[in-house]
Structure 1
């Protein structure tokens, strides 16, 4: 006799899970990393006590917590910056390998300079913690050392946070414009912002104004808009479908299989 079958029992149907396309993983990761590079914006306020009177700070005035949080945020920015170029490289090398390698090199140099600038600030904190107030320490000499380290930070910041983005954005803008991976407005903004920022950097270098003056901030705005809006676009929309993305997805998926 045939076994009884419960026709009311639910039938389990296996639905294959849709995998994220390789280019979508790249765009999402790069977008998050670009947004992450803006975490250091609060350092303008966090470093204010040091920049306003580094001598008083190094001799014990105020807390070191703001400096430590600011330094940590800059380390994050440096790591996120080089990561954008590395994550993009498998795709950008198909557009122009020279430009792709140039972007990685420029981002690496930018990160190294950021780390050097952070070391200058952390050295100020070490001098304050280990030497300020100890017997035989010359307060005037400590203040002089603090001013020297702060000057080192300011000049290194000009190279890392202001000059290197010019090279990075020109290279990236060129590859984005050539490949049409994103709307053309993004690389156009990069092409406008990079020369403007370079001109401002030259003016700062020759002492026309400081790198935190309103003119310098306005000159850096188009580059900031380009990088932030690109990051948000890549998170939300990703790359536009092109023969490049189709070929990359097909090659990556066949290799994985």
Structure 2
């Protein structure tokens, strides 16, 4: 297996991990995000903490996809490839802020009463932390994700690393989810409708991941010439 094929395989696996961990994290967070009595009740701390762990895996996978793909996509356009890496780092940072807000919510639920804080103040503080998470969810996995999808889809479309219909999903889905999120930001669009607009970018990432795992990169001009990592090490060569 060549280094380029390994890169495709690792990138595909990491993309699938991002999807699974993102969905798992959001599902596990639900008691903290939707129950107005969470901070004043018994809580579902173990479940919410597991959600935070899932999102930490998401953060590492998001960074991993960018770092893994960079040596290949930079051959098409180094500037755009670097912008994609920077964008993924920004996306990961915003998601991390959301994780911290949820962890703070768990702490508030556990320690608020013991500290003698007024119940109304506890609820208000909890609402602030939930709002922080909701905004990070809108900005990171929506606005920034859409821009990152557009950059990567453009690079793989131009370089023909995957079938063009897969890249087109990213070229359409990326701007769509970002535009939809900005509309939600200004109150022009409902969050429920925004969820529907995220389906094309979800299809892009899943189809891209599956293709990389099963087929690897398509033969193209940027994979035609092996890189130094594809070459055998001289010291291992037999004279």
* TM band (smaller chain): over 0.9
Say whether residues 1:223 and 2:205 are aligned partners.
no
* 2:237 equivalent in structure 1: none
- Aligned-pair distance for 1:90? 1.0
- Aligned-pair distance for 1:115? 0.5
Say whether residues 1:114 and 2:129 are aligned partners.
no
Say whether residues 1:254 and 2:231 are aligned partners.
yes
Say whether residues 1:161 and 2:141 are aligned partners.
yes
In the aligned structure 2, how far is the partner of 1:253 from the partner of 1:190?
A: 29
8 Å contact from structure 1 (residues 91, 248) kept in 2 = no
* 1:36 equivalent in structure 2: 17
Aligned length: 233
- Aligned-pair distance for 1:124? 0.5
Gaps of 5+ in 2: 235-239
Say whether residues 1:140 and 2:117 are aligned partners.
no
TM-score calculated relative to the size of structure 1: 0.86
* 1:11 equivalent in structure 2: none
Change (3 A) 1:92 1:255: farther
8 Å contact from structure 1 (residues 58, 127) kept in 2 = yes
Q: 2:85 aligns with which of 79, 104, 107?
A: 104
* 1:208 equivalent in structure 2: 188
Say whether residues 1:192 and 2:169 are aligned partners.
no
- Aligned-pair distance for 1:78? 1.1
- Aligned-pair distance for 1:209? 4.2
* 2:40 equivalent in structure 1: 59
- Aligned-pair distance for 1:200? 1.0
Say whether residues 1:176 and 2:153 are aligned partners.
no
TM-score calculated relative to the size of structure 2: 0.92
The structure richer in helix per residue is: 2
Say whether residues 1:124 and 2:105 are aligned partners.
yes
- Aligned-pair distance for 1:253? 3.0
Can you list the C-alpha shifts for 1:157-207, whole angstroms capped at 9, x where unaligned? Answer: 111111111111111011101111111111111111122212211221012
Gaps of 5+ in 1: 1-19
Mark the structure with the bigger radius of gyration.
Answer: 1
